[in-house]
Structure 1
Amino acid sequence: MSLEIWLAFIVATSFISATPGPNMLLMLSHGARYGWRATTATMSGAILGLALLLGLSALGVSSVLAASPLLFMALKIAGALYLIYLGYQCWYAGSKLSLPSGNANTTASRFKTGLAVALSNPKAILFAAAFLPQFLTPNAPQAPQWLILLSSFFIIEITWQLAYALGGMSLARWLESGRRIQIFNRCCALAFFAVGAALALAKIH
């Protein structure tokens, strides 16, 4: 892998990771609710979820999903419903920054939520299978290249997740009144609804 190819991967991945998707939206929401340190539990779950999806892609599950529209549809509908459920939780959070769930403030709960949100998007498996191989040099050893790409990917992803969590924490300082908090919760809810709907309507290709 040449330096030019690696730099192209860095730029492309940075823009893709920065896009406000389910993971980043969750980091923003949890950053505002619990602070960035507590949100590291959410980040850990999300990173583990991404690692599992990449592992499934490497095992060839991406080919199975691409060849089975019905299975892909079932998985993404389940993921979309979970995101919509998170939106429901945010909508009824009212004027509080904590979610209605009684155990929402626990480290384990945040970790599980991060993991579930990351796993809620089966399209990520197909993305990994289609995106990452474009930056590999076929006639060069594969293992070192995969190590470089995956290490770079996770460093970029973690950096952006932390940035969103810090952004949410800064936003929390502005949310002084119950009215502003309610608006924030409703905006998060609508965003989760939109992402869930987009996932449900996504096509394989």
Structure 2
Amino acid sequence: MLTFDQAGAFVLAALLITASPGPDNLMVLGMGMSRGRAAGVAFGLGCALGCLSHTLLAAVGVSALVAASPLAFTLLKMAGGLYLCWLGWHALRSAGGTTAAQAQGAPQSLGRLFAKGLLANAINPKVVLFFLSFLPQFVDTARGEVAGQTAALGLLFTLQAALLFGTLGLFAGQVGQWLQRRPRAGLWLDRVAGTVFIGLGVRLILSR
């Protein structure tokens, strides 16, 4: 359903964005450092699988817009491009998230931590906006099957997020120590992510 070039470009951009310091991966890092590897992995997988709800919304919404009005789809792309540029600007201005706050509270079961991560991602309106902004620019409307392409992209994003968050939770202690020894590492990760966001935003605005 996706071409090799289409999927390759998407996965590369998704990995760079997911790896940049942000609320989700810093929470996974903090959970793993404070409560152990299993807790970090469970919470991280929950955060990643929460993306499936956003994938469904994006697949239905984007395909409906294309079917109803090419103009509406163009306006969505323009708004999405501006939103990505705004995210990139804030990432470039960030001081760098080099440490993760320690997770507090009473011990919880792995199932409960998984559900907590799932819910935290699924109800986040900023993630909804991100999916509606990010996925459409990798959809080739000329090939048809817009909903199928969008769903496939969302699944790819979820898989790479699960792999990255799971790995981050598993090696949270080592990653945390590495970041603490290299305080500028988070700063440069933010710079890379900001550049990617702005580049994607401009590409989305200029695309026809």
TM-score range, shorter chain: 0.5 to 0.7
Deviation sequence 1:38-60 (CA, Å, 0-9, x none): 22343244332232222122102
CA deviations 1:136-168 (Å, max 9, x no partner) are: 6xxxxxxxxx77x77765554432221122343
State the identity as a percent. 9
RMSD, aligned α-carbons: 4.1
Instruction: Mark the CA change 1:112 to 1:159 in structure 2 (over 3 Å): closer, same or farther.
Output: same
Contact preservation (8 Å) 2:59, 2:150: no
- Say whether the 8 Å CA contact 2:81–2:201 is kept in structure 1: yes
| Residue correspondence of structure 1 range 46-85 to structure 2 within 5 A | 46-61=51-66, 63-65=70-72, 67-68=74-75, 72-85=77-90
Residue 116 of structure 1 aligns with which residue? 126
- The alignment covers a number of residue pairs equal to 176
Aligned residue runs from structure 1 range 153-168, under 5 A: 155-168=155-168
Give the corresponding residue for 2:48: 43
Q: Is the 8 A contact 1:83 1:192 kept in 2?
A: yes
TM-score (norm 2): 0.59
Q: CA deviation at 1:75?
A: 3.4
Conserved in 2, the CA contact under 8 Å of 1:43 and 1:111?
Answer: no
Give 1:197 shift: 1.4
Letter in 2 for 1:160: Q
CA distance in 2, matches of 1:51, 1:83: 25
Work out the CA distance in 1 between the residues paired with 2:169 and 2:182.
13
CA distance, structure 1, for counterparts of residue 85 and residue 63 of structure 2: 24
**TM-score, normalization by structure 1:** 0.60
1:180 is aligned to 181
CA-to-aligned-CA distance 1:17-64 (integer Å, 9 cap, x gap): 53132x763366415454332223432443322322221221024722
Give the conservation status (yes or no) of the 8 Å contact 1:49–1:116.
no
Task: Indicate if the aligned counterparts of 1:72 and 1:122 stay in contact, CA closer than 8 A.
Answer: yes
Is the contact between residue 83 and residue 196 of structure 1 (CA under 8 Å) also seen in structure 2? yes
Q: Distance in 2 between matches of 1:151 and 1:72?
A: 17
What pairs up with 1:96-111 in 2 under 5 angstroms?
96-98=99-101, 107=117, 109-111=120-122
Q: 1:41 to 1:80 in 2, by over 3 A?
A: farther
Unaligned runs of 5+ in 1: 1-5, 100-105, 137-145
The whole-number CA distance in structure 1 between the counterparts of 2:142 and 2:182 is: 38
Compared CA separation, residues 20 and 185, structure 1 to 2 (3 A)? same
CA contact (8 A) 1:54 1:125 kept: no
Query: Which residue type is aligned with residue 198 of structure 1?
Result: G
